[in-house]
Structure 1
Amino acid sequence: MMSQPTPEHAWLQQLVGEWTYEMVGEPFTGTESIRAIGDFWIQCEGKGTGPDGTPATMMLTLGYDPKKGKYVGTWMGSMMDYLWVYEGTREGNVLTLRTTGPNFGKEGAMANFREVLEWKGPAERTFTSHMEEADGTWKQIMSMTYRRA
């Protein structure tokens, strides 16, 4: 059975290429190389230096599952032992991914996360991460700007 790419798959393909990134408010910078895995998936490999000077490598995979009607993906980084698994939706140029992961404010606890990738144009995009607090409010914990290299 051969699948056919959808407009959602095509939207992901615009991310393919070489990028630089910087974290807003933190000395965390690096590069990201995004390649297509056929017409359905992208694989993003980031390399940089963390705020403490430690080298960091990150890997993100993203695709679209037409049966679920959702974007799907995973993220892993050399700085932690947790595999993040995403499901999300897109409205226009804003892809919102939802996941559960380690609560950065409470050792051993888990929290809900909302990760937002916003396509600003062919040469820029942003990535913002929010963690749900115990009272149900969302706290922004990270913001990054990516520019095409």
Structure 2
Amino acid sequence: MEAVQAQQQHRWLQQLIGEWTYESEMPAQPGQPPQRAEGTERVRALGELWVVCESQGQMPGCGPVQTMMTLGYDPLQQRFVGTWVGSMMDRLWVYEGELDATQKVLVLSVDGPAFDDPNKTAHYRDIIEIKSPDHRVMTSHVQGEDGHWRQFVTMHYRRQG
């Protein structure tokens, strides 16, 4: 088997490599302040084709959590691909996505259990936006039964060192 050569999309992912801190904010019920949390993330390369993002921090209602995301690019599908797991749940989330026209925003789509009924499935999006080499923002959204997308978390990542 011949080694796969890194493409532009693989190189795009390399900008995520490094040590990061994050602050997250989740909207609360009406009349309540938003819930906030913070943590750290280490993003490392797995060769030239993949990045592995390992986070640890606090999550409101869950306490200490650890998460792991893998991201790569599949030239045959012409899609970004990846996975996400967290210590607070038993589900493996499988992403697929694409860059927007600006090449600054990666939109990752995934289906998973609905927040209000784990027997139902919902559509989710995690959107990674590069603000600068040392600042990126990830927002997470869920699609309601009415078809509208609702943002449920915003995470600001800042590079350390």
Match of 1:122 in 2: 133
| Larger-gyration structure (1/2) | 2
Query: Quick one: which of 63, 73, 76 aligns to 1:64?
Result: 73
Which SS does the other structure have where 1:145 is aligned? strand
Match of 1:5 in 2: 6
Deviation digits for residues 80-138 of structure 1, max 9, x if unmatched?
11110000000211000000011112342210011100011111000011101011111
Calculate the aligned-residue CA RMSD, in Å: 1.1
Match of 1:32 in 2: 41
Asked if residue 100 in structure 1 is aligned to residue 111 in structure 2, the reply is yes
C-alpha displacement at 1:53, in angstroms? Answer: 6.4
Structure 2's unaligned 5+ residue stretches are 26-33
TM-score (normalizing by structure 2): 0.89
Deviation digits for residues 6-50 of structure 1, max 9, x if unmatched?
010000001000000011232211000000000000000000012
Distance in 1 (alpha carbons) for counterparts of 2:19 and 2:11: 18
TM-score (normalizing by structure 1): 0.96
Match of 2:30 in 1: none
Which SS does the other structure have where 2:6 is aligned? coil
Distance in 1 (alpha carbons) for counterparts of 2:35 and 2:75: 37
- The runs of 4+ residues in structure 1 deviating greater than 6 Å are none
Instruction: Answer with 89-98 or 107-116: which moved more.
Output: 107-116
Q: How many pairs are equivalent?
A: 149
Asked if residue 51 in structure 1 is aligned to residue 60 in structure 2, the reply is yes
Match of 2:15 in 1: 14
Distance in 2 (alpha carbons) for counterparts of 1:88 and 1:55: 29
Distance in 2 (alpha carbons) for counterparts of 1:115 and 1:60: 12
Distance in 2 (alpha carbons) for counterparts of 1:52 and 1:72: 29
Instruction: Answer with 48-57 or 125-134: which moved more.
Output: 48-57
C-alpha displacement at 1:72, in angstroms? Answer: 0.2
C-alpha displacement at 1:61, in angstroms? Answer: 0.2
